[in-house]
Chains A and B, each alone.
Chain A
Amino acid sequence: MSDRKLPRLLQTPAVLLLLVWMLIPLGMTLYFSFIRYVLNSLRRPEWTTPSFSNWRGFGNYEFVLNSKDFLFAIQNSLFIVCSILFLTVILGVLIAVLINKTFPGQGIVRVLLISPFFVMPAVNAVLWINMILDPVLGLQGIAVGGINELIDGLKDAPLVGWFFGMWPELQPISFRATQTSAYAVIIMVTWQWTPFAVLIFMTSLQSEDQQQKEAAVLDGANTWSQFRFLTLPHLARPIAIVVMIQAIFHLSLYAEIEIVSRGNGNKNLPYLIGEFANNNIGAASATGIFAVILANIVAIFLLRMIGKTLME
């Protein structure tokens, strides 16, 4: 037994540090979630300092559960995360397969493809919402205006004018609106994270066995069958990894949501926490605990799924 003591002793500082790192914030969040604690209150100044005398029990949790945005925030979190995962995996696989072939300028294309990943999330959001998606000044507004002008011109053309005359005028979409702000976030995060998926899938494709492909060619497999029966199964593991890493990251999206619409029509749990934290720390902490639970549920599912693919 004594030969195990020394290694354990040497591990202790690291383990302790990790525990402190994790447990103190978690403990404080738990504590705040059970008391009345606000940053500013003229009516009840005693609530502005955390204290056990302000004990509220599960009151904060009840308040959060009953608040009109909570259920919406959870659904919206899952909607955003799942949409981004779906799009990045599909786009990632397609682009990776496309650029895995050798072609002139391959190196530059690869660098350009990876570059969105190095843009800061807030910058990404500002660029997209102001310069690309803006209905008047962005690329979208310019493009829609251009198409409308073109159709307008064609309406007077002989022979085919009547056809274009029946076309409606296209309306640009306002991506800051309640109904569309979630889509804006999905688009910009997909743009930013597809390179990550491409990078992982590309390295995996390069390790694909070429003799297997040749064997498949001789066995009569066409390009689609080779992709379906060899490449896709080969990519199962990297896909699982991309899904897991991205799910963890995108559950905590914040900057994009803030910049696109300040939470208008588009909230997730971290954003809800931020909103509560403007004043009500108790409610914010309770939401934080819900977020921890949600993240754990997602993580357990993902770990199961990935554990399974890794075992195979």
Chain B
Amino acid sequence: MGRIVLKNVTKTFGETQVIPPLDLTIEDGEFAVFVGPSGCGKSTLLRMIAGLEDLTSGAIEIEGEDATEVPPAKRGLAMVFQSYALYPHMSVRKNIGFPLRMAKMEQSEIDERVETAAKSLNLMDYLDRKPADLSGGQRQRVAIGRAIVREPEAFLFDEPLSNLDAALRVGMRLEIGELHERLKTTMVYVTHDQVEAMTMANKIVVLRAGVIEQVGSPLELYHKPRNVFVAGFIGSPKMNIFSGPEAEKLDAATIGIRPEHIGVSMTDGLWKGRVGVAEHLGSDTFIHVHDTGLADMITVRITGDIAVKHGDTIYLTPQPDQIHKFDDEGLRN
């Protein structure tokens, strides 16, 4: 049903090519997340799928039919915007019902569908309020409600959580995940936050400067990053990446080791360093280690708490099977 195929898609704004030729298939029912630093073209790509941006060349297929020239409203897609884009003069009820009203649906049917959507999103008490009287999370739910009443082939989310505070973001993340489980509809989600990508996606598409760096499941990307960029982008805290003699020993130009794969000792180990800032989260401790001679700073993550002070000497030992090796061009070898 909601299978989306991009074939040789490109986009140029004036002289600059934002998206070089790009191929991508999003299977029906998949939760695909486009992730990458800002300006990597992920939003442009989503807007091209939605039909809000024209393609410079290439084709888009939705459900096996060419949709390149189909106007946005006829593509059967619903989009949730970063700013929510609610209509400020209409009540929540009218906002959610707007796409149905535009589709010239019977009023009784509209009411029914709006009520169903509102119930599933816990919006029943707010139906007659205006968007200005709602909190950020409620507005986001109204925007999602407006998308689900249309029963689209696929949902498009354009950084929907970035205007929410941290606690709400976690809650909404779960709600969107739950929604996907319930509806089993294709979802395409754009974010710059790799945590959102890791927690929600079936398939992550890592983009940089319009180029797909890697496509895969969250754990594939975590365990087998295809290149240095993906290695550094996926995972929090960031992977420690460095080159030098230590890398040459392993026949690699660059090696990377994730903070959670480094053992710590106060007495002996492979690498010696000086403790900088230690961030105690209770469940975990992030220790930033300086003067190892490997990189400016090595981050280590250990479970539980450890009594280290700023300036202490510390010894680090990487788990050998967890070291990622990259060649001269930054590709995994």
Binary flags per residue of A43-77, CB closer than 8 Å to B gives 1, else 0 = 00000000000000000000000000000000000
C-alpha spacing A212/B88, complex, angstroms = 9
Cβ of B102 under 8 Å from chain A: yes
Cβ of B78 under 8 Å from chain A: yes
Q: Give, as a whole number of angstroms, the nearest-CB distance from A216 to chain B.
A: 8
**Are B102 and A209 within 8 A (Cβ)?**
no
C-alpha spacing A182/B226, complex, angstroms = 80
Cβ of B174 under 8 Å from chain A: no
**Are A215 and B81 within 8 A (Cβ)?**
yes
**Are A234 and B89 within 8 A (Cβ)?**
yes
Chain B: number of interface residues, binned into ranges: 20 to 34
Q: In chain A between 185 and 229, which residues have their CB closer than 8 angstroms to a CB of chain B?
A: 209, 211-212, 214-221, 225, 229
Residues in A with CB closer than 8 Å to B99 are: 218-220
From known contacts A214-B52, A215-B79, infer whether A220 and B102 are also in contact, taking CB-CB under 8 Å. Answer: yes
**Are B85 and A225 within 8 A (Cβ)?**
no
**Are A219 and B102 within 8 A (Cβ)?**
yes
Residues in A with CB closer than 8 Å to B89 are: 229, 233-234, 236, 312
Cβ of B204 under 8 Å from chain A: no
Residues in A with CB closer than 8 Å to B52 are: 214, 217-218
Cβ of B205 under 8 Å from chain A: no
Binary flags per residue of B98-136, CB closer than 8 Å to A gives 1, else 0 = 110011000000000000000000000000000000000
C-alpha spacing A312/B131, complex, angstroms = 12
**Are B98 and A229 within 8 A (Cβ)?**
yes
Cβ of B288 under 8 Å from chain A: no
C-alpha spacing A212/B102, complex, angstroms = 15
Contact of B79 among A209, A218, A229, A236 (CB under 8 A): A218
Residues in A with CB closer than 8 Å to B78 are: 218
C-alpha spacing A214/B99, complex, angstroms = 12
**Are B98 and A214 within 8 A (Cβ)?**
no
**Are B85 and A212 within 8 A (Cβ)?**
yes
Cβ of B77 under 8 Å from chain A: yes
Cβ of A142 under 8 Å from chain B: no
Contact of B85 among A209, A221, A234, A312 (CB under 8 A): A209
Residues in B with CB closer than 8 Å to A230 are: 87
**Are A209 and B83 within 8 A (Cβ)?**
yes
Q: In chain A between 208 and 260, which residues have their CB closer than 8 angstroms to a CB of chain B?
A: 209, 211-212, 214-221, 225, 229-230, 233-234, 236
Q: In chain B between 58 and 100, which residues have their CB closer than 8 angstroms to a CB of chain A?
A: 72-73, 77-79, 81-83, 85-90, 98-99
**Are B102 and A221 within 8 A (Cβ)?**
yes
C-alpha spacing A234/B87, complex, angstroms = 10
Q: Which of A220, A221, A230 has the most CB of B within 10 A?
A: A220
Residues in A with CB closer than 8 Å to B73 are: 217-221
**Are B102 and A218 within 8 A (Cβ)?**
no
C-alpha spacing A233/B87, complex, angstroms = 10
Which A-chain residue is minimally distant from B152 (CB atoms)? A218
Cβ of B50 under 8 Å from chain A: yes
Contact of A220 among B79, B81, B103 (CB under 8 A): B103
B residues with CB within 8 A of A: 50-52, 72-73, 77-79, 81-83, 85-90, 98-99, 102-103, 146, 150
For this complex, 12 residue pairs linking A to B, each with C-beta atoms less than 8 Å apart, are A211-B81, A214-B85, A215-B85, A215-B87, A216-B87, A216-B98, A218-B52, A218-B72, A220-B73, A221-B73, A229-B89, A233-B88
Give me the 9 closest cross-chain CB pairs, A-B, nearest first.
A233-B89, A215-B85, A220-B73, A219-B99, A220-B102, A211-B85, A212-B85, A211-B81, A211-B83
